[in-house]
Amino acid sequence: MSKSEGNLEAPTRHALDWKNPLFYDRDDCNKELERVFDICHGCRRCLSLCQSFPTLFDLVDATDDGEVHGVRKEAYWSVVDQCYLCDLCYMTKCPYTPPHPWQLDFPHLMLRAKAIKHKNGHVSAKEKLLASTDVHGSFAGIPIVVQAVNAVNSTKLARQLMDSQLGVHPDAWMPHMADQRFRWGRTMTGMASVAVNGQRTPGKVAIFATCYMNYNEPGIGADLVKLLDHNEIPYEIVEKEQCCGMPKLELGDTGGRGACLGRQHARAGPLCARRLRHRHAGAQLHADVQAGAAADVPG
């Protein structure tokens, strides 16, 4: 038994047992969802985070006795759908993460539920299309085409059509496609050649150009390389890359990605970077990191 109310140690992340057939068992998952939801209901520290928690607490509060056992199992999936795997609850809020005896890992449980949903064919074609960032990005940088796409996407009619066909709200912010991609016409290595080891870094950087930076906001990458050149820090933009898989993982698509779930990678930025900590998105980035470069994932 724990001697304290919550966990006072740093959270320990265990690898997902995604190869176990029980991982995709819906009834077993529902039991774990009920156990975790009951703990979350009694704590409610994560109310201010993503919409998963207000959705869960509203479902519980609407029952006759205000307890999780009164929530219909079918309603659990409305909680799952609101999670986008940001990991904030696990890393910053939850007092019951491992090594606490309750072993609560909300994001991993949501990912398990999403994987079951995907495996059972309950993910729509429009959701899969929206998660295919390399497909959307193929328009970026093409003269005339990119201007036409940006202009059409800004019209009221197009936004209404996207709302009805893809579920994208008419008022939702949508980034424009870039006139020129970050990788095009750019030197792949920096001006500096000598790496000076820092206290916590190897002194050189391997840059993974994320989908968003490459197709939508290349200025982020341009600013980064200027900063690295100014400070005489050697860098290399990875030769080949592909989507890190985070958008598809948010849908529960573990196919072709599961082998790397739970594998740790170099620390970097937000969701794409978190995904890279669990999957090597490109052999060249892996080679650069193995050679002693720190991975930088802007955007």
Whether 54 and 139 map to the same domain: the answer is no
Q: How far apart are the C-alpha atoms of 4 and 7, rounded to whole Å? A: 7
Q: What percent of the chain has pLDDT over 70?
A: 81
Domain's final residue, options 135, 166, 197: 166
CB 50 within 8 A of CB 84: yes
Identify the pLDDT of residue 263. Answer: 33
291 with 224, same domain: the answer is yes
What pLDDT band is residue 5 in, cutting at 50, 70 and 90?
low
243 within some domain: yes
Tens digits of residue pLDDT in 124-156: 888 888 888 888 778 777 888 888 988 988 899
Sign of the CA dihedral 28, 31, 33, 35? negative
Same domain, 140 and 114: no
Residues of the domain holding 136 = 125-166
pLDDT reported for residue 291:
52
pLDDT, one tens digit per residue, over 35-91 is: 999 999 999 999 898 899 999 999 999 998 889 999 999 999 999 999 988 889 998
Using the 3D structure, point to which of 89, 119, 149 is the last residue of a domain: 119
Q: Both 143 and 217 in a single domain?
A: no
**Exposure class string for 239-254: b at 16+ Cβ within 10 A, else e:** eebebbbbbbbbbbbb
CA atoms within a 13 Å half-sphere pointing along the CA-CB vector of 204: 20
Q: How many domains does the chain have?
A: 3
Do 95 and 137 reside in the same domain of the chain?
A: no
Q: What is the mean pLDDT of residues 157-168?
A: 88
> Residue 182 falls within a domain, yes or no?
no
pLDDT at 237 over 70: yes
Average pLDDT over residues 206-210: 82
Residue 24's pLDDT band, with cuts at 50, 70 and 90, is very high
Q: With 60 as the cut, is the pLDDT of residue 114 above it?
A: yes
Does residue 72 lie within any of the structural domains? yes
